[in-house]
């Protein structure tokens, strides 16, 4: 799986949008972009994933650059509960692969101020 | 619909003792993954199991660590003769199908402290 680069930390104000960037310049054509987040003292939870087109779900939106070398996770209105470490992870789409692991980097620690 | 359950949530062991960590996947999930997280670090993959079979143990230390996922009952991560460096949070995740295109659901973790 290709490597991703994220800022170590970001700050946001409550009820404002947050844009969390991720660079993945070595992404391959079969890599999906996944985002997980880990709230304090909890296990990670899935947020969203995409391949080429922008994606929306109830938690967030994912904007993917046209060349796919970068992506941005968008939280439309940050709440205090969104304070967490956000991980951007590339997963190769491969029916035959036996490797199961997610490769977590250090992620971006998001702080939300009231 | 219960999520992934792990127990105990906290475990304290003295050096040389054994630690047994249990993980019950989401009902209907047959794929289980174990990860370890050291303080201030990201999660590191340890092992991937599918009912009664170890599929990928490339992240598992060669000695003292073992994992199983029996036909009946929870998955177990076993650490023999624990050392201080084993102190970490251990997370279990499960998925309904193969790992390459499925989200993984994580449990709350077991925090192991070795005295």
Separation of alpha carbons B18 and B11, rounded Å: 11
Interface of B with A in 69-98 (CB under 8 A): 91, 93, 98
CA atoms within 13 A on the CB side of A75: 25
Whether the Cβ atoms of residue B60 and residue B54 lie closer than 8 Å to each other: no
Whether the Cβ atoms of residue B55 and residue B64 lie closer than 8 Å to each other: no
Chain A positions contacting chain B at CB under 8 Å are 32, 34, 42-46, 49, 87, 91-95, 97-107
Placement of tokens 């660590």 in the chain: B65
Separation of alpha carbons B4 and A85, rounded Å: 20
Which of chain A's residues have a Cβ under 8 Å away from the Cβ of B35?
101-102, 104
pLDDT above 70 for A97: no
pLDDT in tens, A6-48: 999 999 999 999 999 999 998 888 888 999 999 998 999 999 9
pLDDT in tens, A38-77: 999 899 999 999 989 999 999 999 999 999 999 999 999 9
pLDDT above 50 for A82: yes
pLDDT of residue A98: 46
Q: Contacts by B44-52 with C-beta closer than 8 Å and gap 24+?
A: B44/A104, B45/A100, B45/A101, B45/A102, B45/A103, B46/B77, B47/B77, B48/A99, B48/A100, B48/A101, B48/B99, B49/B75
**Residue from B5, B51, B55, B100 whose CB has the most chain A CBs within 10 Å, to mutate:** B100
> What does DSSP assign to residue B26?
P
Query: How high does pLDDT run on average in chain B?
Result: 92
3-state SS, residue A48: strand
Higher pLDDT, B102 or B13: B13
3-state SS, residue A54: coil
Q: Is there a contact between A100 and B48 if contact means CB atoms under 8 Å apart?
A: yes
Query: Exposed, middle or buried, B21 (CB in 10 Å: 0-12/13-18/19+)?
Result: buried
> How confident is residue B86, by pLDDT bands cut at 50, 70 and 90?
very high
Q: Is there a contact between A100 and B109 if contact means CB atoms under 8 Å apart?
A: no
Residue A102 has its nearest CB partner, among B4, B31, B104, at B104
Residue B54's nearest CA partner among B44, B41, B38, B68 is B68
pLDDT above 60 for B69: yes
pLDDT of residue A94: 58
Interface of B with A in 23-52 (CB under 8 A): 31, 33, 35, 41-45, 48
């Amino acid at each position: 799986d290709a490597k991703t680069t994220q800022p170590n930390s970001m700050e946001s104000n409550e009820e404002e949008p947050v844009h969390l960037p991720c660079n993945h310049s070595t992404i391959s054509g079969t890599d999906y972009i996944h985002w997980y987040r880990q709230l304090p003292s909890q296990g990670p939870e899935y947020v969203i994933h995409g391949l080429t087109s922008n994606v929306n779900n109830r938690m967030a939106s994912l904007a993917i650059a046209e060349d796919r070398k970068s992506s941005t996770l968008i939280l439309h209105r940050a709440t205090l509960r969104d304070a967490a470490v956000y991980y951007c992870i590339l997963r190769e789409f491969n029916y035959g692969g036996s490797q199961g692991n997610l490769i977590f980097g250090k992620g971006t620690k998001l702080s939300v101020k009231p | 619909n219960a999520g992934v359950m792990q127990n105990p949530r906290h475990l304290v062991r003295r050096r040389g003792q054994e630690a047994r960590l249990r993980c019950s996947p989401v009902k209907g999930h047959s794929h289980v993954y174990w990860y370890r997280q050291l303080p201030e670090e990201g999660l590191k993959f340890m092992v991937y199991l599918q009912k009664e079979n170890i599929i990928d143990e490339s992240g598992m230390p060669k000695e003292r660590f073992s994992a199983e996922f029996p036909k009946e009952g929870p998955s177990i991560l076993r650490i023999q003769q624990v050392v201080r460096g084993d102190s970490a949070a251990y997370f279990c995740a499960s998925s309904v199908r193969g790992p390459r295109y499925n989200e993984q659901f994580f449990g709350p973790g077991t925090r192991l402290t070795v005295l």
